[in-house]
Amino acid sequence: MAEPTFQKLRFHHVGIPITDDLPADSYNAALKMHATGYFDSPYAMEWMKFDTDSNLPEIIRKQPHIGYVVDDLQQAINGRHVVLKPSSPCEGVTVAFVLEGRDLIEFLQFDKPEAEVWPHSNKFMLECL
C-alpha cells in the first residue's frame, strides 16, 4: 500500500445518520437517502436518513462523519482505507469515504465553484491547516 500523502483540508460538513423521519428533507433517489440541515444553518450539519435498501456501505449509513474539501481527491485517498470509492452524488462534485482508525472521513472535490453546485450563502468557511 502506498504511503498517504497530505494536502490542505477545508472543513465542509458533519454528517450524522439518524433513524427518525426528517422534517422538510431532500431526497437523493440514487443514494436512497433523505437529508436535511446543511442549508438550514451556517454550521454545516447534515442529518441523514437512509432507506433500508440503500446500497451505501453500512458504516456510512450508521456512523457520523466529517467532510473535507480537497483539491485532489485521488491524492487524498491514496494509501488510505477506502470504504466508498470516488463517486458523484450530483453534477460538479466527486466524493470518497475513508476510514482512519475509528474516524469516518468524506473527501469532496468540486469541479466548479461549490456555490454553483450547492448554493449556501450563510455557511461559515473554516480552513484547517
Whether 95 and 88 have beta carbons less than 8 Å apart is answered as yes
Q: Is 40 inside any structural domain?
A: yes
Number of domains in the chain: 1
pLDDT by residue (tens digit) across 28-40? 888 899 888 777 7
Q: Is 31 inside any structural domain?
A: yes
What CATH number has the domain bearing residue 96?
A: 3.10.180.10
Containing structural domain, residue 39: 9-128
Q: Is 56 inside any structural domain?
A: yes
Q: Is 83 inside any structural domain?
A: yes
- Sign for the CA dihedral angle at 49, 109, 129, 126 comes to negative
Strands 93-100 and 103-110: antiparallel
Q: Is 97 inside any structural domain?
A: yes
pLDDT surpassing 80 at residue 2: no
Q: Can you give the pLDDT at residue 7? A: 78
Angstrom distance (rounded) from CA 93 to CA 17: 21
Q: Tell me what the mean pLDDT of segment 9-32 comes to.
A: 87
pLDDT surpassing 50 at residue 128: no
pLDDT surpassing 50 at residue 6: yes
Q: Is 109 inside any structural domain?
A: yes
Angstrom distance (rounded) from CA 61 to CA 39: 20
Q: Is 2 inside any structural domain?
A: no
